[in-house]
A = this chain, B = another copy of it.
Amino acid sequence: MLLYASQRIEARLESAVADSGLSLSKLNVLDHLVKAGGPLPLSRLAERLSCVKSNMTQLIDKLEADGLVRRVNDPEDRRSVLALITDEGRRRYESGSVALAEQEQQFFQELTTEEQDQFAQFLRRLNNG
């Protein structure tokens, strides 16, 4: 029941973002690159998204094929590869994050004011604990 609800939520958000030609995973990568204000090593991205390094390799492969990100050398460590967001990546990020925010907004509007407060508090606790 809890599981089913959780899957429903994810499916709704995924679908909202798909109109911008993005998946939640790809949007998440772009989000971190934009917020960082500059290119990031793949290993740092993997840490921040709490995923395995090999997964980030594959994600950047796809984003690079889409033209939303470019791999550039790290001048300070030749082992490292930096992910750099492109102009097109920035445009897609804007579009996708707006769609995501709208869907979350719409989600909360299905709750009463009291439920909104309770749920927000619950999310904070869950995301911290």
CA A122 to CA B24, docked complex, whole Å? 24
- Contact in complex: A10, B7 (CB < 8 Å): yes
A52 contacts chain B at the CB level, 8 A cutoff: no
CA A13 to CA B123, docked complex, whole Å? 17
Residues of B within 8 A of A104 (CB): 1-2
Instruction: Classify the interface of chain A: helix, strand, loop or mixed.
Output: helix
How many positions in chain A have a CB within 8 Å of any CB in the partner chain? 28
Query: What does the 1/0 interface line of A5-43 toward B look like (CB < 8 Å)?
Result: 111111001000000000010000000000000000000
A119 contacts which of B6, B8, B13, B118 (Cβ < 8 Å)? Answer: B118
CA A6 to CA B127, docked complex, whole Å? 10
A3 contacts chain B at the CB level, 8 A cutoff: yes
